[in-house]
Structure 1
């Protein structure tokens, strides 16, 4: 009986690990998706999802959006375009909390979680966000300036000690090299 229970638990563990791999954010990879993934491959990977290619009716796709069941974007891919042809992927913006780094960071995490698990290499302001550069995973993490009690259009320097631990992540941009 113990042997059967052990085998069942081990089987569940293997199946669970296989599923999570598709949702894993690592340097230059989102699951099995990387720099050389094509739009045709994305169509196959996300064939069961709601997808929008932008611009519509164009030979060259500038954005490839994957939506969740509520109609919100979960992933937005940006192809690398050189000389008017698609050469693979440049980056993906991750909005869904289902995608997670090896250290447990997702869009449902807070700034405190990020700071505890990763070295923040640089912080830059944009009009509406504070952008954290995480070289370890070749990603940037955008925080809403409203969570930082900063004016939206304030472009002055942002220091790490100015950011409250509770600040929420807007999205994660994973860059493919």
Structure 2
């Protein structure tokens, strides 16, 4: 009697395990991969990958356009309910067969194997990744992480530095609790 009851429980547990593993891959960040997007994914593939989500396209006007300030096409991925997940830029503008140049992460469910996501602090980033270099801009410090081919920007306000100053920033100057401003994975 007990053996008959245990088989359905094992089948249900195994099914839940398979579903949870496939769901984890949907939000996993690796070098050359964000969720189901890889280095070979084209812009037209996005409609299949995000068939249950909304894709908003902000297309540049190319060489004939009037908007000189918008250089790149932008594809915003929103989940149902309106939460922004990703901003995707193609390598070639106005080309549906183009592969991806970069993906900016906006949702904390997207994370690396070590657990780094958009809400991670500098101490978590530094402990789990090799920061290859730091470049300073007028308003932020950009961390380059070659293991992921990613950049993480930290606002200068988080560093206690004046904005609009390009003074060099070192790892030692960044407070452990500093939060990231942006997290971009590059596909080049």
**Scaled by the length of structure 1, what TM-score is found?**
0.87
1:1-177 pair list within 5 angstroms: 3-4=6-7, 5-55=9-59, 62-68=73-79, 71=82, 73-81=84-92, 85=95, 87-177=98-188
Which is further off, 29-38 or 115-124? 29-38
Structure 1 segments of 4+ aligned residues over 4 angstroms from their partners: 1-7, 68-72
Q: Which has the higher strand share?
A: 1
The runs of 5 or more residues in structure 1 that have no matched partner are none
Q: Deviations over 1:17-49 (max 9, x none)?
A: 111101100001112212221221112222322
When residues 79 and 159 of structure 1 are mapped into structure 2, their CA distance, relative to the original with a 3 A threshold, is: same
Aligned twin of 2:66:
none
Pick 1 or 2: higher relative contact order, CA cutoff 8 A, min separation 6.
1
- RMSD of aligned residue pairs (Cα, Å): 2.5
Count of matched residue pairs: 175
Q: How far 1:57 moved relative to its partner?
A: 8.0
TM-score with structure 2 setting the length: 0.82
Distance (Å, rounded) in 1 between the aligned partners of 2:142 and 2:17: 36
> CA offset at residue 67 of structure 1?
2.7
Give the superposition deviation at 1:98. 1.1
